[in-house]
Structure 1
């Protein structure tokens, strides 16, 4: 961490905090320093995603285009580039390391520097100060972003090593997917350290206190669009808040809408909008918590942009949200179902919510004969064509991302900054070492 920058943020925080309060928090109730801090990451959520979500959610029967939670909370922007040896386009590991530690590193690194030496994360600092810490994500819990907050590893791909290292991370709450990376022997070790292990959402209500390891899927949680349920991340977020807020010294929580990125890599707009809805709902859960607990700071951002999403494509000044809203399953799930049944054309029309033309049907039929992957790709191309959605890449892009904030010290995150600045500002707001 850059010491001079950290001291600058600390001084700025002390000067500004008595004057600062979120629009959602009464200034007379706001404390001089946040007791709790929540960092929320929409993985891959570049600015086009939040704009697209606004139009996707808009009520066409009203004259105005309604705001979303992202419009309400927007305060600034952040650059995302990794250490210069990796160029200008970051991966999730390097960007998460920057957000967790305030240090740039190489793509693929999990909270280690360019020489592979461990870096101190905000979670470690919080734990040393007697605070509770936790993560709630929709990917596997040992994926790049949560790993950067809780672990150190030279490669994000070392999933088993990262899972084992969580034994010494001393996190109070770990919620998400990734059951396949936690063997029975490893789970027994977690239980021996006092963790309650649950693997079904129905068990959440039974957990009222204590350390919790919740692994609710083999790898990722189900796509929101396939569940037709946007509450999964909200439920995990609320449970994490309930458990962590029992600590009198406060807490630091990471919440990640992980699968926005995965849908972006797949160039899958329908699935991406479902994941955006799930993440937006989780933000509103935290927003309500901040309103009820004015000693809590929430900061929301993205680690990078994925896919180069374009609202409008092929020279058309249009984007068809009504078509997207009518889609009832992900292209991946629809392709799997369509391969398995004879009357697949009727299934496609019903699931997409519109009638496929003869020409479009022929393209789908040709793809179906090549297998599930080809059919899924053809379905995504059909949806893009009909909705006027464009993509530039199946990878990441190097553009800046948005920053959203509420609660005490929210104004510190206004304007343009680097992703390392976000970490340094939040670190400067931690209580002094005991």
Structure 2
């Protein structure tokens, strides 16, 4: 029988099935552009990274609604919120790689993580610094609480279906990207209000940095509740941050509080037990570090000569990796018979890119890519009920950071030949570049670029996740 005849037989006797996603796993490399992934591949000197092993590849725009860019310092902090931003492929490229070096054009109209995260989470564009805000022409006062209409997020829809939910990040748990999937507020730096909303939400797992009692090197410090209490406007009093922290430590909303590396590892080890007893159904994991798991560290290991290398400076030994957090989260969430949605963020890729620090960027994207591998391994594990017919895995960036340029070297030369910005003068901000999409599983085919210039928008990620959960997609029969 010829291959054509075999295909015809399958079409004739096998009716296409509609599969829904019981498990949806979204991984966001914050600030991770196409050339960031290329740099990772070249540094590791491999044919493809873990994220590139996913079946479908595409790319998307990240622009937001118009804003003043003033950062919510006073009054109404956006203008013309009813007008969309834009991306011109004639100037920026029909693919992320078409125009090399990456043109200066992409410096115009860049989003921030709040607007970009909101678009991924709810399927609508919003303005800079806002989390899930429904825009209106005259804007909203930045300093008035609860005067705004908000969009529901994919977490809201997943929970309505009875699914467990979680957010995981390598930066503070209340930072813009994890916040975008649950919190609703005009200003991304309302950390007290965001923390309160997250803590008292139905999220089953919250993991990240932002520990008030540890510094960027994982050393004890005087308490700092910045990511728990700072607000713009009359939300909760700033001094309530300590109260929120104490509620978390004492198991608010039934979440078991973990902070030591060994606790994260115990959750992640796959034996179905936690300290010899049952696995908790809900967890709040707060790594013992201030801003980032590793990116902001500055440790004197006695040998500064190799600090420029990946891992050349000693890592903080008492902090879990994002990979470990990812494994721990999957072990906790898989207990829910109705499935789950989780967002896992490599947040410090962005922080390192803002600094134009290739070494730290590579450390962060390596950990992120290992987290992708952990997810792939989990889906392929025959013991937990997941497979590619009931699971959707999507890997994206919320935007590109640093205007990283393509390189033609491998290994440590990637660090030595780093080039950020036009003419390598260094860019430390977000850009409006196209960013990559890697996906596999239920409805993932919709995210593929079917031809050069088949550009998706970041709002489309939400729509595909929603489709996968609510209605499902036909399983393709013909070769793809």
TM-score range, shorter chain: 0.7 to 0.9
Structure 1 runs of 4+ with >4 Å offset: 226-231
- 1:321 corresponds to 2:411: yes
Q: 2-side partners of 1:158 and 1:132: how far apart? A: 26
**Equivalent in 417, 421, 428 of residue 391 of structure 1:** 421
Q: 2-side partners of 1:241 and 1:138: how far apart? A: 16
Q: 2-side partners of 1:233 and 1:146: how far apart? A: 14
**Equivalent in 281, 285, 288 of residue 214 of structure 1:** 285
Match of 1:98 in 2: 119
Q: 1-side partners of 2:470 and 2:21: how far apart? A: 9
Do 2:26 and 2:344's aligned partners in 1 also have CA atoms closer than 8 Å?
yes
Do 2:442 and 2:468's aligned partners in 1 also have CA atoms closer than 8 Å?
no
Do 2:392 and 2:468's aligned partners in 1 also have CA atoms closer than 8 Å?
no
Q: 1-side partners of 2:404 and 2:373: how far apart? A: 24
* 1:220–1:231 distance in 2 versus 1, CA, 3 Å: closer
The unaligned stretches of length 5 or more in structure 1 are 1-18, 20-26, 59-64, 313-317, 325-382
Match of 1:39 in 2: 26
Q: 2-side partners of 1:197 and 1:71: how far apart? A: 34
* 1:127–1:56 distance in 2 versus 1, CA, 3 Å: same
Match of 2:211 in 1: 179
Match of 1:238 in 2: 327
Match of 2:368 in 1: 279
**Equivalent in 432, 439, 455 of residue 405 of structure 1:** 439
**Equivalent in 466, 470, 480 of residue 427 of structure 1:** 466
CA deviations on 1:68-114 (whole Å, 9 max, x unpaired) are 22332251111111014464311111000000000100010111122
* 1:160–1:387 distance in 2 versus 1, CA, 3 Å: same
Do 1:187 and 1:197's aligned partners in 2 also have CA atoms closer than 8 Å?
no
Match of 1:55 in 2: 42
Partner SS state of residue 200, structure 2: helix
CA shift, 1:429, in A, is: 1.9
Q: 2-side partners of 1:388 and 1:171: how far apart? A: 39
> Going by fraction, where is helix more abundant, 1 or 2?
1
Partner SS state of residue 446, structure 2: helix
Q: 2-side partners of 1:118 and 1:401: how far apart? A: 26
Q: 2-side partners of 1:140 and 1:310: how far apart? A: 28
**Equivalent in 57, 70, 73 of residue 51 of structure 2:** 70
Match of 1:169 in 2: 201
CA shift, 1:34, in A, is: 1.3
- 1:264 corresponds to 2:316: no
TM-score, with length taken from structure 2: 0.66
Do 2:404 and 2:421's aligned partners in 1 also have CA atoms closer than 8 Å?
yes
- 1:154 corresponds to 2:167: no
The unaligned stretches of length 5 or more in structure 2 are 1-9, 69-84, 86-108, 137-147, 213-226, 229-240, 268-273, 296-309, 450-454, 472-480
Partner SS state of residue 394, structure 1: coil
Match of 2:171 in 1: 139
Q: 2-side partners of 1:227 and 1:413: how far apart? A: 39
Do 2:31 and 2:400's aligned partners in 1 also have CA atoms closer than 8 Å?
yes
**Equivalent in 448, 465, 469 of residue 414 of structure 1:** 448
- How many equivalent residue pairs? 336
Match of 1:369 in 2: none
CA RMSD of aligned residues (A): 2.5
Partner SS state of residue 412, structure 2: helix
**Equivalent in 151, 170, 175 of residue 119 of structure 1:** 151
Do 2:293 and 2:320's aligned partners in 1 also have CA atoms closer than 8 Å?
no
Partner SS state of residue 142, structure 1: coil
Q: 2-side partners of 1:215 and 1:419: how far apart? A: 29
Q: 1-side partners of 2:412 and 2:290: how far apart? A: 33
**Equivalent in 298, 304, 307 of residue 393 of structure 2:** 298
- 1:202 corresponds to 2:262: yes
Do 1:132 and 1:251's aligned partners in 2 also have CA atoms closer than 8 Å?
yes
Do 2:443 and 2:467's aligned partners in 1 also have CA atoms closer than 8 Å?
no
CA shift, 1:227, in A, is: 4.8
Q: How does 1:330-341 map to 2 (within 5 A)?
A: none
Query: Which stretch of the first structure deviates more once superposed, 116-125 or 133-142?
Result: 116-125
Partner SS state of residue 44, structure 1: coil
